[in-house]
C-alpha cells in the first residue's frame, strides 16, 4: 500500500479525492455533535452543566493519543523501509497532534477547576499527557535543529518510536497509579458505563475530531509533497542547465 501511494501522482489523486470528503464529514458531524452536546443532552446529575466540557476534552485527548500512535507507526515504517511518504506523514502529524494535546490540557484544566477545586494537579494522567506534549514539541525541535534532512528524519524517527512508551503510560496511568481521573468508561470489555444520552454526543464528537484530524493531515501532507516535488524539479532543471553549460563550453 505504501509503495503504491509513494508515487506522488497516485497520492495526490487520493488526497484530492479524500480532502473534500473529510471536510464535509467534519463540518456535518461537528454541527450535529455540538448541537447534541450543548442542547440535546441532559446535564449530569453530579457535575451539572460542567459535564459539557467532556464533549470537547475527551475527543481532544483521544486524538492527541491516536495521532501520536500514527506518528510512531510512520516513524517505524520510515526507519525500516525508508519510505519518504511515511517520513513526511510523521513530520506533518506532529504539529497537529501537539495542537490537540494543548486543547486536551486546556479543557481538562477548565473541567478540573470546578470538579476538583484546582486547575492542575501532578497526577499520573495529567503529567503523562504533559509529557506527551513535550515529546511532540521535542520531535519538531529535533527535526528543525538538524540541517541534514536524512539525518534529521532518521533521528526524529527514533524519538517518535521511543515516545510510544509514554503513550502506554498515558493509557494505563489511571489503572497503575492513584489518579483524580476515573477509569475508562467508554472503551471497556464489559461495555460503556456512560448513559446513551451522553455517549452518542461524545461518540459523534470523537468521530468529527477524527475526520478533522484526517483532513488536516491529508491537506498538509499533500502540500508538503507538492513542495518536495517542486524542489526536486527545480534541482533537476538546475542540473540540466549546468550540463548544457558544460556541453557548450
One DSSP character per residue, 170-181 reads HHHHHHHS--SS
- Four-residue CA torsion sign, 191, 197, 198, 204: positive
Percent of the chain having pLDDT more than 90? 73
Q: How far is Cα 213 from Cα 104, in angstroms, rounded to an integer? A: 14
CA distance 249 to 247: 6
Using CA atoms, how far apart are residues 49 and 41, in angstroms rounded to an integer?
A: 10
What residues does each domain of the chain span? 2-179+193-248
Q: Is the pLDDT of residue 66 over 90?
A: yes
Residue 59 has pLDDT above 70, yes or no: yes
CB 210 within 8 A of CB 4: no
Cβ contacts of 225 within 8 Å, gap of 6 or more: 8, 11, 12, 15, 85, 88
Residue 166 confidence (pLDDT) = 98
pTM here?
0.92
- Mean pLDDT computed over 2-18: 79
Contact call for residues 132 and 101 (beta carbons, < 8 A): yes
Query: What's residue 222's pLDDT?
Result: 92
CA distance 113 to 106: 11
In this predicted model, what pLDDT tens digit does every residue of 122-161 receive, in sequence order? 999 999 999 999 999 999 999 999 999 899 999 999 999 9
| Closest C-alpha among 23, 9, 77 to residue 219 | 23
Provide the pLDDT for residue 6. 63
The CATH number of 2-179+193-248 is which of 2.60.40, 1.10.1740, 1.10.3470, 1.20.120?
Answer: 1.20.120
All 3 cell numbers of residue 186? 467508554
Q: Cα dihedral angle (177, 180, 183, 184), rounded to 10 degrees?
A: -120
| Res. 5: pLDDT tops 70 | no
CA separation for the pair 93, 247 (Å, rounded): 45
Residue 3: band (very low, low, confident or very high) from pLDDT cuts 50, 70, 90: low
Instruction: For 211-239, write each residue's pLDDT tens digit.
Output: 999 999 999 999 988 887 787 788 888 88
Beta strands in 3-87 (DSSP E): none
Amino acid at each position: 500500500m505504501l509503495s503504491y501511494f509513494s508515487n506522488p501522482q497516485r497520492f495526490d489523486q487520493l488526497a484530492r479525492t479524500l480532502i473534500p470528503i473529510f471536510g464535509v464529514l467534519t463540518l456535518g458531524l461537528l454541527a450535529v455533535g455540538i448541537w447534541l452536546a450543548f442542547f440535546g443532552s441532559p446535564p449530569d446529575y453530579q457535575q451539572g452543566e460542567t459535564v459539557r466540557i467532556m464533549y470537547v476534552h475527551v475527543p481532544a485527548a483521544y486524538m492527541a493519543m491516536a495521532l501520536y500512535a500514527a506518528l510512531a507507526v510512520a516513524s517505524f515504517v520510515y526507519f525500516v523501509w525508508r519510505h519518504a511518504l511515511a517520513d513526511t506523514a510523521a513530520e506533518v502529524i506532529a504539529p497537529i497532534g501537539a495542537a490537540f494535546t494543548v486543547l486536551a490540557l486546556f479543557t481538562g484544566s477548565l473541567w478540573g477547576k470546578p470538579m476538583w477545586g484546582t486547575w492542575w494537579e501532578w497526577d499520573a494522567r495529567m503529567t503523562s499527557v504533559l509529557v506527551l506534549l513535550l515529546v511532540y514539541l521535542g520531535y519538531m525541535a529535533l527535526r528543525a535543529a538538524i540541517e541534514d534532512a536524512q539525518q534529521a528524519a532518521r533521528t526524529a524517527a527514533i524519538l517518535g518510536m521511543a515516545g510510544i512508551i509514554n503513550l502506554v503510560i498515558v493509557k494505563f496511568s489511571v489503572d497503575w497509579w492513584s489518579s483524580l481521573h476515573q477509569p475508562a468508561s467508554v472503551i471497556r470489555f464489559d461495555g460503556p458505563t456512560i448513559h446513551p444520552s451522553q455517549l452518542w454526543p461524545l461518540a459523534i464528537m470523537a468521530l468529527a475530531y477524527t475526520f478533522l484530524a484526517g483532513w488536516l493531515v491529508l491537506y498538509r501532507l499533500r502540500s508538503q509533497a507538492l513542495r518536495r516535488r517542486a524542489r526536486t524539479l527545480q534541482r533537476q532543471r538546475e542540473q540540466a542547465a549546468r550540463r548544457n553549460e558544460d556541453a557548450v563550453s
